[in-house]
Structure 1
């Protein structure tokens, strides 16, 4: 029958408005004989438009009508659709969401009647209702049909919103329970002699055990078998194994009605290699001796569901104590975390971004985080022991283990992601967790979740939003360092006797347990909020302090910081809530003297250790540092106060740099191995050099403003030399500089020179005022004529001197010259003046090379401290800093004019440029670079540990151990550290002998 053009056009428009994508095909279906009674019923279009896929729902309805065995059955279905809105919504909702269930209805056209009427108990059916629905099944085929019929009712409630995602998941688990019981009943009926010999319990695990099953999922189980009264145990276990195997086949095998779902027993002891059925005592023996951490995590959801429920309950009761002791196992938290990482690593690259379950920000992130928190805290808090993820999350929030806002966000995200997963699986009833790429499928999923304006875009946007939330909170909760330490605390530790407490402190490595206990009492006693939070933190911090070379210092420093900041609201909140802050603080406080001393002078710098948006431990640029210091100088009254303000910024930024260095170096051995040691060295050198330059700029501004206002009668520039010019300053390095000035137009040279000398004198005086901060010493000994020459010269004077009197060592020293403060144009012109000296066009004459070699030999013999072991001297010893730097600088003097890459003040950059230019082999360059980086790290480590500069390893055992921890060596491996240094230096010296001294034999 063909519709009139006008009506067709009107219908076509209405179809599009109701969400149909193929309106022409829909018109043809509506004109079919099967739908004649409904063709003009506007309610039908409204109902179809409310479904996830109106085209699919309409096609399914036509197929169902065509499948009715006789006209009377078809008429009954049509009449019911017209008269019953609930049926209409449920049936069309299912047909628009699932081709698999539509296929089932076509094969079994009477099953639509399961949706006609809901009694009160039908709205929230449990295991008993589902068992009644499966009761007539007499074989695997009829069991599948009955199972799909029950599934049809669950899906109808789900897609119509009668039940939420959590209720649907629970109903699916209850249906699985009823199905397992029915399948076991069929297996027992097929082998009554086996059923008589044994007691067999089926224990659900995973999502089924947790009452949160998917539409299509493996059903994880464990089988427990015991002999029936009077039966032989061996025969009984064999009989139970046959019953269990038959039950699994009934559920898993494919028939003309398809399959139900696989029953997976691989979570049993020994997995696939272990016996399918074990006795209760055999299970316990395995768990007590051999079980891995993940097996206890899996047992968290164990629930008896079929067979001998009393035996199943005995099993769960017996293993539960083991589950809640699992967190006390060594490396428990790292083991769980590694397992989660392995799951992500095993996802095929092409699927990572589409993985709803296993990928970053997926369902498994929520589940792992919740389970880990349960296992850690559920030992003492039984309210946390639910096997259902959302129930456990709610309990964690109620107990204060997860913030309520975080828990609410996780709950919302988990429900959304599970809803997506349900809709994806429901379509074809296939086990998948991949978000489809087809736009039509995405549109159907989006509409099924109530997204109607732009279903595809809205779905993807909501998915990514929730995944981002999950990932952020997963990292915050799952990897929170406090967990690992809390997990190691034995129940009742707080009730240790005084003597037992002393012994515990000694065992942890505290040298003065009496003092340590006094610190603990001072920190944790009382009823204040501060004391309560510190009681929670201290067990964790004690473990972290104990992992350092000086636990006593760590605890003492923590008490000092807490005394200074304990009443500040943000301080303890930062340590409690920010994942990294507490552990970072513990590392910093126990790593030596420098960082804690800086922190004691500016306790508020603790805030830098957190995860917030305040910059954290990232070094600040020279521009930002200079802006802050100059602003502080401008606000100060007088030069002395201005320099004090500049020192305050320097103190905080030195702490930032030292803390970042410690945190980057004092990680786990695995983290230390992965760290880029060269990058750590460059970071420290660059940060300290930038900070020194900014401090000098601020001091210069203060002096000029105090003596001359804003108009110094001469232009003035500071040139960095040595490590300062090379961006390679360490924590205790002096600032080698040259001072240069140039009289302004119309100013007498004598007046200008007096002003410049006064500036230099006043800067040195102000910076040498005694202070608890690390000193900033200005060293101008590299100036022309050395200590005998004037502190400051005009640019013209420098030019005249260098033209007539410059010695080889001066050209050598100028290789590291770089403007750092003052007049930028004057600094640039100074560099233009010296470039021909440090990069001579004709290279170096042989006599100049010999002179450089003589200078180096004399320096080593004169400056190496008496009694020092040369092989362990990081600066002047063989293979040390001096060896590497002079070798690189000789290459720069010889080839800098021809090779632009060599024209840099930085050692590692010059070395890399020499390698690129073919002046040194890759192997030799790598050897020298490794030695230079290691020697620099040794010097930095000694300063961090001792609080004062030195070029040799400490002799005091604790200090040496602390240097070892900084360099990545664990307790007891200081000797290995020294041996490794000697080997690295020896290899570097071999290269230096050839490249610097011209020794050709290696």
Structure 2
């Protein structure tokens, strides 16, 4: 180590250090280092300034310099990085088999040295906050690792543990770092929060295991925190273990897992977000955290956790007596005596303090981290940065909180390094406050320090209040919000509810807990919080009574209202958006009542102009692929699809997402879910039936999914195709099964047929909220009579020998969305050949072939009209001149004119056909406009009514009509009569084009 350090250039200390608050103590330390007169040469001026700073501000640091002069000298010559590396390397290399007294001395000396190095690097600005807290955390990890190795070896020597278990790995004993140690954020005088776990399976047949690890835990505590002439290492706190009032210091893994899965509380989830193994059997620790991951990271958006965090903060405030302290004031306020406000203020637990910043970041992680794994960062600064990057926090707020966090942690360190006390409170005496200001490098004294601290802390407290506030924020509720009012019905009638008696009965039922969702005290409190905002939002709708009835239906479907009400209480803008849905979109309102998880989609941060690449990257973080099994993957997919579908629909209703972009977004979502579930299902399939070497299966999307034009409620038209090397006859099993695992090989065709059925089952899995997707597999070769999956060779043969024209037309919208890359490329080639090739019968393309293709398309349209006529005037697809005819034109012309660049999307195919001269530009633009109009109208009708659109009647309320016309806003259509007239005009133009381009062209071709 000395040779390595000798090669390092001489380190230069900074010239400026905080001024000494006590010059006599500074002089004493200088005398100790430089001799009785304390004189130094010019080369040592920076060192002298450092000595004055340490001696005049911190008796503890001055004592460390006296006790560790060699370390101090190395620090001044080589800098803190080299000094820290040497200390930790020496400690890590120490033989763990030494006597306990020698281990204890080494640990305490390392603590003194790292404390000195870190303090100097902190005070001099040589290290960032992360480096300072990281160095203290690394010391704790290294010390714990050495201590645990020593104690395990000692237990093995006594015969209490088997000899093989004396090393860290495989010992069956792990130390989890929690809190600031887990996050690598230890402060200068931190306790270290630990959870000690042991695995009985690592020591089979050991009847006294709990006693052994209980004793080992007690010895670890004594070794680390007992004070002697050498000091101490770290104070330890084991109260974060599972059920600390009833469990021993070291808890068995099965006990811990059972506790968290059945009785774990929100504060324990919050604590575990920072947990990581720091000593002992690290692999065991990571495995444990993976097992309880679903307890920590809920897949749904857990806004109810906010209530628990707020309650925890209130208890802290009561315990610390925060209620009796002078108020910080609001941001921008001025106070006559700002020092008085901060005298004795707790920088950690007080208003505007470190804990409020930590709570804010940690709560956001609990709410969002299950759905967005990319947010999970145990560090406060890292979490704030990730929340800002994902738009879960405003970037300006996140940077402001981060800057204040750094400032407060710096002040906290200065407080603690003065006397090595675990304190977070600013001095309560003005003279001491002034002296502390010097240590904080505020030469203007206490007033300068107060100005430096107070405004950032006010902003933190305001942000904390905004984030956790509920209710109408200081506004007196309207009289009709008092549900006990004797004249409630008349108050509601005057407010605007058309059926005041019924409205009063609904609200009275809420008050009297008639609904299961509102029976708990917590739900009633949340209801009171949101009621003013909720009723105000409902009254803004055209029919407030209808919106109220639908919200009552939404509440009635909830088994517990806390989650929903918490979500609404902490997302005020959501009330207005939901009220708009309840008032104007009956289908979405019913969907929301049946599928309340859909609300989560509204809370995903929206990014302007989100493209497919960014959307797919975001979807990739949803965790479907990482699910432990098929059922969990389906559950995650269902939550994702329900939330995203509802979000897309509402964005269309609001005019924030047009039909084309919504179709692409829905198709990207479907692509992701198909690919992710295929991967999970294939993994489970291989575990049962082995693997087909060199084989694979692809999923081909057709119809609206293939053209990326999906709408609300669109089916998934799919085709499954597999391929494998010709010499493979059956799946191959591993040479040796794991214990208890029994696999069996299958013939290749049967292997892929079973895989296809499993994929279909996953994608269409039923649930309380309906199937994941409605699937249509009839576009596969041979339709519903053929196998659910076909080989690539069978696909090729079928389309060369048997395919109908309509099947080739369907392939113009085929898109390979999942499967192995090589097979996907091969499948694309086969699809292109099937579309542009000669077709059934092997006839070469030509005039006669084109004529027969056009005639077949015209006949197909006529047959559809006979067998499946339009069900009414709103059956956009099947109307004469409707969407189906636009699509038929684009599809059949791509078959007969292969020189046009193919496109799956109808609008793009029509433009390509115009560029190739197949159709006139004006006619193409007419058809493109018709395609867009029909899809806009059908998409809005789907959002408002679902797939069953009534011709007329009470469902066509004024809000519904207005929402429909707003969805067609570019056309500026005034009313439904004008809309019907425009529909007739568009249908007539499409019909004329279809007759000209398909019917007549087929008849006229010689």
Normalising by structure 2, what TM-score?
0.44
Max radius of gyration: which structure? 1
The structure with the largest helix share of the pair is 1
